[in-house]
Amino acid sequence: MKDKTKLKQTKIGMIPEGWKVARLGSCCKLVKKQFKPSKEDRRKYIGLEHIEQQSLRLVEIGSSEHIESNKFEFKQGQILFGKLRPYFRKVYRPKFDGVCSTDIWVIDTREPNDSAFFFYFFADNRIITEANNSSEGTRMPRARWDYLEELEFPIPLLPEQQKIAKILSDLDSKIELNQNMNKTLEAIGQAIFKHWFVDFEFPNEEGKPYKSSGGKMVYSEELGEEMPEGWEIKKLDEISDNFDSRRIPLSSRERDSRKGSFPYYGATSILDHVDDFIFDGTYVLMGEDGSVIDERGYPILQYVWGKFWVNNHAHVLRGKNISNELLYVFLKNTNVGHIVTGAVQPKINQNNMNKLQFTIPKQKTLLRIQSILNSLFEKRKINFEEINNLSLIRNSLLPKLMSGKIRVPIEAN
C-alpha cells in the first residue's frame, strides 16, 4: 500500500487519479424478492437484532420458522444494510442464502463492480452519515434508497476494488477465525457443564462418572426431580450480586459529546464508546427489557470485563460464592421465558429474576468446574482482544482505502 495519492479535478471535486465519478444507483441496486413464511420451507433468518452494531458481524442466526410476516430473500455475497436507525451501522455480507427483515436492504452490485468492495463501501461512515441524513420518521427513522442512489462518489475501477476488498476481507477472515475459536471454546464449556450439571456425570472420588457409577441421588421437591446427594438449591440473589443501582443511561446526544474508548453497553451489545466508565472488572450483563430472550426462551447475556459504562436496559451481575464464568454458564442454560413480563415491551424484573433456581454442587466439584471454565474463558478473552485489535486496524484502513487516501498497487497486465 502507498499513501501518496495523485488527484484529478472532477465535478464533485478532487478525486484519486484513475478513479471515476459514479452515481451510487449505477453501481448497486436493491433486491426485493419476497419470501412468505411456510412451515415446509425453513431457511436461515437475519433480523436487525441478529446483526451486531458497528462490528460488521452477526450475533446469531435465526430461523424462518419463527417469523410470521413476509420477508426478503437474500443470496450469498449480497450486502445486507439495516435501514432502520442507520447510525447503528448494521451491515453484513452473508456467506449463505436466507431471508431477512424488511427493515434490511438487500443490495446487489451492477457489473462491472465487486460486491465485496461495496460491502465495505456501505460500511464506510460516509454512507452511514448520508443514510442517516436521508432518514424519515422521528421515532423509527429509516434511510431512503431513492436519496442514496442519486448521490455521486469517487469509485475505483474493478481491479482496485478487488485489491481493496482483499485487504479488508483478509482482516475479517482472521477476525472470523478467532470468533469461531471462541464459539468452539464456549461450546466445550457448555458441553462440560451439561455433562456435570444436567446428566450429573461429573467425576466422582475415583474419577468415574457420578450418576452412571451408582452415585447417590436424592429427590428435590424444589426442583421436582432428583439431584446428587449433598448438592443445594440456591436462588440467583444467593449466588450473585446485583449492581443495577449504579447504572446510568446516556442519551444519544450525550454519547455523541462523550466519544471515547470505554465500551457503552445496552441489553444485547456495545452501543458506542464513551469517555468515562462506571464499572471496572468482570461482570455478566443480562437483558432487562427489549431483546431479553432468544427464540428458545434463554436469556440474552454478555460476559464483559475491563472498564465500561452500561445503560438501564441490562442487569449488571457478578458472581457471589461462585465465579462469574460459572454464573454466566448457569444463566446460559436456564430457560427464563416464564419470568418475562410485558406484552409490548418484554421485561425481566429483578424480583422475578432473583427467584431463578440453580443446583450448586459440593465445594470440590464446584472448584473443579470453575477451574475448567476459567481456563476456557481466559482463552476466549485473548481471542477477543485480538478481534478487537484487528477490528481497529480494519476500521482505520477502511475510510482511507475507500477515499483513495491510501492506494493499493495494481499489477500491470
Domain ranges of the chain: 7-154, 177-387
pLDDT given at position 194: 96
Distances (CA, A) of 321 to 110, 318, 373, 395: 59, 10, 15, 40
According to the model, what pLDDT value does residue 413 have? 45
Q: What's the pLDDT at 121?
A: 98
Per-residue pLDDT, averaged over 334-359, amounts to: 92
In CATH, what class is 7-154?
alpha beta
Mean residue pLDDT across the chain: 93
Instruction: Let me know if the fold of 7-154 is the same as that of 177-387.
Output: yes
- Write down the CATH superfamily of domain 177-387: DNA methylase specificity domains (3.90.220.20)
Q: Would the pLDDT of 31 be above 50? A: yes
The arithmetic mean of pLDDT across residues 172-179, rounded, is 96
